[in-house]
Structure 1
Amino acid sequence: MLAPSPARGGKEAGWDLSAVPETVAAARRLVCETLAAWGLSALADDLTVVVSEVVTNAIVHAKSAVTLSLHRQGRSVRGEVADHSPVWPTPLPAGPDEEHGRGLAIVAAYSERWGVDPTPDGKIVWFVCEGRRVP
């Protein structure tokens, strides 16, 4: 299910993840472990929420394996989820009783900024969580 790549210089980590529901929990665990190793555990709450949403969206909508990458930038972390679908995420209207449609709003609320970049075989959804709460 997971094929970790070693952190390079303590600033980058990445994993190839299968397109199965269990991947979301594994991604959260990998994020927490990596942030702890980097001394940035204070970012874990925000970053795991964002990673959960983006990985879930990739599995559900792109229906492809994904690559999750984390890049430490001082007290900030840029996360990237690459998938093999050229279809970009689109915010959906969600009423108060809707079960779906809030994922991108959650990503926007828990990250300082986020976006989508095209790749030759799909896209990368990226997001940045800053260490504003890190002591």
Structure 2
Amino acid sequence: MKTPRKALEAYWDLPADLEVVGAARRLVREVLVAWGISAVAEDVTMVVSELVSNAVVHGKAPITLSLHRHGRIVCGEVTDHSIVWPSPLPAGPDSEHGRGLAIVTAYADRWGVESAPEGKTVWFVCVEPGSR
């Protein structure tokens, strides 16, 4: 009988600055490669990019990003101190904004929002292709 592998975890406190979005993408890619699950890196990176952007633009600092690996599954959370939950915005073909949650829905296997002690947490799950 095999012993289950311990979940791997990574946490970052992020400043409320849009420049952190690129750094968050880089950190996520580096961690996923180190964890040996780079096949899901594009999906996780896209979701993190959108959720961190939303937290910076619409949320309230402090912002925390965390990733957890459970076998071939990556779970992530972006927490901020705003009590306003994300909601889809209408986006026309020429709109610059309003596609973030549609992108999250397209790249994550599941996602949702939960109340946090002082704000909210947007969570997501991405499963390595071939493991679904």
**TM-score above 0.5, yes or no:** yes
Compute the TM-score of the two structures, normalised by the length of structure 1: 0.89
Aligned AA (1:48): T
Compute the TM-score of the two structures, normalised by the length of structure 2: 0.91
Structure 1 unaligned residues grouped into runs of 5+: 1-8
Query: Which structure is larger by alpha-carbon Rg, 1 or 2?
Result: 2
1:113 aligns with 2:120: no
**Residues in 2 aligned to 1:74 and 1:120: alpha-carbon distance in whole angstroms:** 29
Alignment of 1:1-135 (within 5 A): 11-133=8-130
**Residues in 1 aligned to 2:74 and 2:62: alpha-carbon distance in whole angstroms:** 22
**Residues in 1 aligned to 2:26 and 2:130: alpha-carbon distance in whole angstroms:** 20
Q: How many residues align?
A: 126
